[in-house]
Amino acid sequence: EFNIVRPKGYTISYHANPEMEKHHFGQTHPMKPWRLTLTKSLVSAYGMPFAMDNYNTRAATYEELNSFHASDYLDYLGTAPAEDMPRDIDNPDKEVRFNLGGSDCPLFHGLYDYCSMSGGCSLDAARKICNEQSKIAIAWGGGLHHAKRSEASGFCYINDIVIAILQLLRCYPRVLYIDIDVHHGDGVEEAFFSTDRVMTVSFHKYQPEVFFPGTGGLEDNGPKSEHNPGAHHAINVPLNDGITDEQYESLFQNIIGKVNEHFKPSVIALQCGADSLAGDRLGRFNLQVQGHGACVAFCKKLDLPMIIFGGGGYTPRNVARAWAYETSIAIGCQDKIDPTIPQHAPWREHFVHDTLFPTLEQILGEPRANRNTQKRLQEIVQHVHEQLRFVSH
Residues that bind ligand TV7 (CB under 6 A): 28-30, 103-104, 144-146, 154-156, 181, 183, 212, 273, 275, 282, 311-312
Helix (H) or strand (E) holding 234: strand 234-239
Is-contact 216 200, C-beta < 8 A?
A: no
The pair phi, psi for residue 60, each rounded to 5°, is -70, 145
Angle CA 320–355–292, to nearest 5: 50
Contacted by 179, from Zn ion, ligand TV7, Ca ion, none: CB < 5 to 8 Å by type:
Ca ion
Binding mask 178-217 for Ca ion (x = CB under 5 A): -x-x---x----------------x-x-------------
Distance CA 188, CA 180 (A): 13
Contacts of residue 222, defined as CB under 8 A and 6 or more positions apart, other chains included, come to 193, 228, 230, 231, 232, 233, 234
What are the CA-CA distances from residue 26 to residues 8, 88, 102, 281, 308 (Å)? 44, 21, 12, 16, 27
Binding site partner of 239, from Zn ion, ligand TV7, Ca ion, none, Cβ cut-off 5-8 A by kind: none
Identify which range of 14-22, 177-185, 250-258, 354-362 contacts Zn ion by CB under 5 A. 177-185
Binds Zn ion by CB under 5 A, chosen from 64, 95, 151, 181: 181
CB of 183 to Zn ion, least distance (A): 4
Which partner from the list Zn ion, ligand TV7, Ca ion, none does 104 bind, CB cut-off 5 to 8 Å by kind?
ligand TV7
Query: Toward ligand TV7, which CB reaches closer, 315 or 328?
Result: 315
CA angle 145, 151, 154 (to 5 degrees): 45
Within 10 A of 191 (CB to CB), how many other CB atoms are there?
24
Pick the piece of the chain touching Zn ion (CB under 5 A) from 54-62, 180-188, 197-205, 343-351: 180-188
Is 146 known to be catalytic?
yes
**179 touches Zn ion by CB under 5 A:** no
CB of 273 to Zn ion, least distance (A): 5
Catalytic residue among 146, 184, 204, 292: 146
The answer to whether 275 contacts Zn ion (rule: CB under 5 A) is: yes
317 touches Zn ion by CB under 5 A:
no
Helices 316-331 and 289-301: angle between axes, nearest 10 degrees: 30
Window of 215-223, 270-278, 319-327, 372-380 that interacts with Zn ion by CB under 5 A = 270-278
Residues with active-site annotation = 146
Q: Which residues bind Zn ion (CB under 5 A)?
A: 181, 183, 273, 275, 312
